Amino acid sequence: MSETRIVPVDTPSRSYEVYIGRGLLASLGALVTKACPTAAHVALVSDSNVAPLYAPPAAESLRAAGLAVTTLPFPAGEEHKRLSTLGDILERMAQAGLTRADAVVAVGGGVTGDMGGLAAALYQRGIQVVQVPTSLLAMVDSSVGGKTAVDLEAGKNLAGAFLQPSLVVADVDCLATVSPDLLRDSCGEMIKHGVLADERLFERLREAPVCSPGFDPAGLVGIIARNVEIKRDVVGTDERERGRRQTLNLGHTIGHAIEAASDFTLGHGSCVAAGLCCMARASARLGWCGQDVADRIVACVEAYGLPTNTAIGHDALLEYATRDKKRRADGVTLVVPARIGEVELRRVSLEGLRRIIDLGCGGVAPWT
């Protein structure tokens, strides 16, 4: 496990370690038995795209460590992140005879992490889960922090639970099979983390885009670790999103609306990047941040070839944004970039949200 970084995460409900490095799948079994000492049997949850690639070596390592393994593939795609798919996974876990002492090992991207994590949270009222992210987006964001959910017809991630993993194992070698477009899409969340908490990371990402040809995957280990540290520092102080953790939603209110309005045909990271730029433009026009802040954010997103705006109608964006689970009766809490590396939470009415969409999306509103 050379060149491996270990990031400790400490939350009120559980403390665990995030391993980031190359060739870690071979050591998965040893790491799981250490983190989940009561487990004798694991359910290896993976989608139909990732399972053929990484379920066999993961299962081999787990079995070599003395664990029984039941592999539970499910159809790939956001459209399958539904209660029906979750129910099928739970039924197969029960048929396989998993007990409360056992664990789920989720091998894949963000959808797999959600499905495996929520299955673990529900099965026998909660068993342990190990996250093994194979996409860059999952490595830097969704595998850490304990959020698990499925989508409902009314919106994204509306049915879920908090369950911190017992272990996260991010094998950077898995990124070799990620398409360039998907790798680029994942960078939206990394840019967000830089704007949120680390100007140095933001500048590093801007100056040397990690999706550029010839970028050494080994160089990603440190970048991924820094992203995990940023999320760790937030989640550790606000595990259930009652305060500071809301800052991780930077770019997400408009980004999730873009994602839903596109019927999930646009990647999550691309939508977050566009939402981040829209919020930055609106914030500059409202005097909440300097124009230079918005310009730097847009320029960084452009350097990755990610969208900086949306042509989706404002009525549609408002409709989807108001379906968001972060909405309260009197409005929404928005995350505003005050400067690179620092954000603020601002409470706005639904009318205020409409104005921000008008100011930030698809051009300048007539009243500015």
| Cβ–Cβ < 8 Å for 174, 136 | no
pLDDT at 367: 34
Structure-token pair, residue 270? 């691309």
Q: Is 347 one of the annotated active-site residues of the chain?
A: no
Separation CA 139–CA 144 (nearest Å)? 8
Q: Give catalytic status of residue 351 as yes or no.
A: no
Q: What are phi and psi of 324, to 5 degrees?
A: -60, 145
pLDDT-derived band at 358, boundaries 50, 70, 90: very high
Alpha-carbon separation of residue 108 from 44, 76, 82, 134, 222 (angstroms): 10, 10, 17, 5, 21
* Residue 365 pLDDT > 50: no
List the beta bridge partners of residue 40: none
* Token representation of residue 111: 């959808």
> Choosing from 22, 192, 252, 354, which is the catalytic residue?
252
Token pair for residue 231? 């999320």
Q: Is 339 a catalytic residue?
A: no
- List the catalytic residue out of 81, 147, 184, 354: 147
Which pLDDT value is given to residue 324? Answer: 66
Any catalytic annotation for residue 252? yes
Active site residue 245: yes
pLDDT at 357 over 80: yes
Q: Is pLDDT above 70 for 368?
A: no
pLDDT digits (tens, 9 = 90+) for 28-85: 999 999 999 999 999 999 999 999 999 999 999 999 999 999 999 999 998 999 999 9
241 labelled catalytic:
yes
Q: What domains, with CATH codes, occur in the chain?
A: 5-177 (3.40.50.1970), 180-360 (1.20.1090.10)
Q: What mean pLDDT do residues 303-329 have?
A: 86
Q: What's residue 328's pLDDT?
A: 59
| SS3 (DSSP) at 310 | coil
pLDDT of residue 7: 97
Backbone CA torsion sign across 113, 45, 266, 225: positive
Q: Known catalytic residue: 5?
A: no
Pick the catalytic residue from 92, 206, 232, 241: 241
Q: Is the Cα torsion angle 302, 259, 78, 104 positive or negative in sign?
A: positive
pLDDT digits (tens, 9 = 90+) for 140-181: 999 999 999 999 988 888 999 999 999 999 999 999 899 889
Task: Tell me which of 192, 231, 281, 354 is the catalytic residue.
Answer: 231
Indicate which residue of 193, 232, 245, 296 is catalytic.
245
Share of the chain above pLDDT 90, in %: 80
Task: Give the active site residue among 22, 80, 192, 256.
Answer: 256
189 is catalytic: yes
pTM reported for the whole predicted model:
0.90
Cα–Cα distance for residue pair 274/36, rounded to 1 Å: 39
CA distances to 79, 126, 204, 294 from 297, in Å: 31, 41, 13, 5
Q: Which residue has the tokens 């953790």?
A: 245
Task: List phi, psi (to 5°) of 212.
Answer: -75, 150
Q: How far is CA 154 from CA 12, 88, 151, in A?
A: 31, 21, 8
pLDDT value, residue 215: 66
Cα–Cα dist 77/91, whole Å? 20
Mean pLDDT of 10-18: 94
- Asked whether 41 and 74 are in contact (CB, 8 A), the reply is no
Would you say residue 1 has pLDDT above 60?
Answer: no
